[in-house]
Amino acid sequence: MRPLEGFLVVDFSQFLAGPMAAMRLGDLGARVIKVERPPAGDIGRGLAFGGITEDGDTLSFHITNRNKESYAANLKDQADRDKVLELVKKADVVVQNFRPGVMERLGLGYEELKKVNPTVIYASITGYGAEGPWSSRPGQDLLAQSLSGLPWLNGSGDSPPIPVGIALADIITSIHLAHGVTAALLRRERTGMGGRVDTSLLESMLDLQFELISAHLNDAQVLVRRGPKHTAHAFLQAPYGTYPTSDGYLALAMGSIPQLGDLIGLDALSEFVDPETWWSEQGRITELLAEHLATESTQHWLEILDAADFWCAPVLSLPELVAHDGFQAIGMDQEFTRESAEGAALTLKTTRAPVRFDGQTLTNSKGAPRVGQHTDSIDRELKGE
């Protein structure tokens, strides 16, 4: 039995962060009904990730809406909205990620919904919170990363701002919302109280930078000063970074510079005995390391450093990662299937939920729904038929 089996989630969200949060609840066992406006449905159905589209929907939609049912409803139509309210009456959780005020104008804000379902958990994602000068800006991943200052942490001192190359804000925010919902459900089980859970892309990006922001709040002299080429953290000294080898790249984490020099045969590092120099001479140290490590293969250096338990790792490309025994051993992939409109079976691959319960991984073979695929059956269910 999965932890959230028996709970019903009504998902009004679109694009990525909201659907992913509802997907995570579904991975944990909840039943998720996605409310979509016909005929096109969630705008995310047309937002192609990598240009990949299958059976009329994008790959990202298939992935983030797996294991859901689709209920077609025009929320601006009173008859449809009344049916949706009947669905909400039975819901344990409502998820939405419209801009502030949209759900309220539709008559589906928290204050309205708790009148028909006092114990509902109302979960909302915005771009930048419901108030403040940024509240009406588009809640989009790159924009949230940029406003948070995160791109200034990536790269070396002579690089322009470098955003993280995935939808980091959306993904992390979906985790926070699912976390908040599970906590609210636990509170409800103990007290009978419903409630509201809110988070935003911006808050998630700020939480990622808690070390930097905390340091600056306590000492305004603390600023982002990105290191020289090859460094990988604005606030960690040498050798922390990624370095070219003769056939790839090698990542080095924290460690003693003189010990590293002894291990790899780089005598020039022996002079940096004082750990303070790992900061003050960071540029010189990383330059020496880059020049020396480029003379041999990644595997050559790994064999030496791993034997001494010096913290290091190869920098893998995507094909190298997926082909590696380490990826296979963790069993992070799964397949799911949906029946196409023509009746053919469409099978796709993705990652699974990254948690285990009682030693078991959480996988699900049920694919994303077509728009309104389950409307009729849900209507019959609501009527008790």
Can you give the pLDDT at residue 342? Answer: 85
Tell me: pLDDT of 32 over 80.
yes
Q: Once rounded to an integer, what is the mean pLDDT over residues 74-94?
A: 97
Tell whether 309 and 333 lie within a shared domain.
no
Higher pLDDT, 62 or 223: 62
In whole angstroms, give the CA distance from residue 374 to residue 355. Answer: 29
How many domains is the chain built from?
2
Examine residue 222 and state whether it is found in any structural domain, yes or no. no
Burial of 49 (0-12, 13-18, 19+ CB in 10 A): middle
Examine residue 225 and state whether it is found in any structural domain, yes or no. no
Tokens matching residue 103: 């759900």
Q: Which of 93, 95, 88 is nearest to 115 (CA)?
A: 88
Q: Which long-range contacts (CB under 8 A, 24 or more apart) does 98-103 make?
A: 98/12, 98/13, 98/14, 99/126, 99/127, 99/136, 99/139, 100/126, 100/129, 100/130, 100/131, 100/135, 100/136, 103/12
Examine residue 153 and state whether it is found in any structural domain, yes or no. yes
Residues in the chain: 385
Can you give the pLDDT at residue 161? Answer: 92
Q: Once rounded to an integer, what is the mean pLDDT over residues 218-245?
A: 92
Tell whether 255 and 130 lie within a shared domain.
no
Tell me: pLDDT of 193 over 90.
yes
Q: Once rounded to an integer, what is the mean pLDDT over residues 165-182?
A: 97
CATH number of 177's domain: 3.40.50.10540
Can you give the pLDDT at residue 341? Answer: 80
Tell whether 182 and 294 lie within a shared domain.
no
Structural domain span for residue 259: 249-314
Tell whether 258 and 375 lie within a shared domain.
no
Please state whether the predicted TM-score (pTM) of the whole model is above 0.75.
yes
Give the helix/strand (H/E) hosting 377.
helix 375-382
Tell whether 90 and 155 lie within a shared domain.
yes
Tell whether 263 and 164 lie within a shared domain.
no
Tell me: pLDDT of 50 over 80.
no
Can you give the pLDDT at residue 234? Answer: 84
Which of 314, 338, 369 terminates a domain? The answer is: 314
Examine residue 240 and state whether it is found in any structural domain, yes or no. no
What is the CB neighbour count within 10 angstroms for residue 380?
10
Examine residue 116 and state whether it is found in any structural domain, yes or no. yes
Q: Once rounded to an integer, what is the mean pLDDT over residues 75-90?
A: 97
Q: Once rounded to an integer, what is the mean pLDDT over residues 266-293?
A: 97
3-state DSSP call for residue 124? strand
Can you give the pLDDT at residue 88? Answer: 98
Examine residue 122 and state whether it is found in any structural domain, yes or no. yes
Q: Once rounded to an integer, what is the mean pLDDT over residues 338-344?
A: 88
Cβ-contact 278, 237 below 8 angstroms: yes
Tell me: pLDDT of 268 over 90.
yes
pLDDT category, 135, cuts 50, 70, 90? very high
Q: Give residues with Cβ within 8 angstroms of 40, minimum separation 6.
A: 46, 371
Can you give the pLDDT at residue 61? Answer: 96
Q: Once rounded to an integer, what is the mean pLDDT over residues 170-189?
A: 98
Q: Once rounded to an integer, what is the mean pLDDT over residues 174-187?
A: 98
Cβ-contact 240, 313 below 8 angstroms: no
Examine residue 234 and state whether it is found in any structural domain, yes or no. no
CA distances from 364 to 29, 35, 52, 63 (A): 10, 21, 21, 11
3-state DSSP call for residue 79? helix
Tell whether 102 and 173 lie within a shared domain.
yes
Can you give the pLDDT at residue 240? Answer: 97
Angle at 108 between CA 106 and CA 110, to 5 degrees: 140
Tell me: pLDDT of 287 over 80.
yes
Angle at 168 between CA 166 and CA 174, to 5 degrees: 130
Q: Once rounded to an integer, what is the mean pLDDT over residues 373-384?
A: 97
Tell whether 37 and 119 lie within a shared domain.
yes
Q: Once rounded to an integer, what is the mean pLDDT over residues 195-202?
A: 98
Q: Once rounded to an integer, what is the mean pLDDT over residues 181-190?
A: 98
Which residues participate in catalysis according to the annotation?
Answer: 230
Tell me whether strands 31-36 and 68-72 are parallel, antiparallel or unpaired: parallel
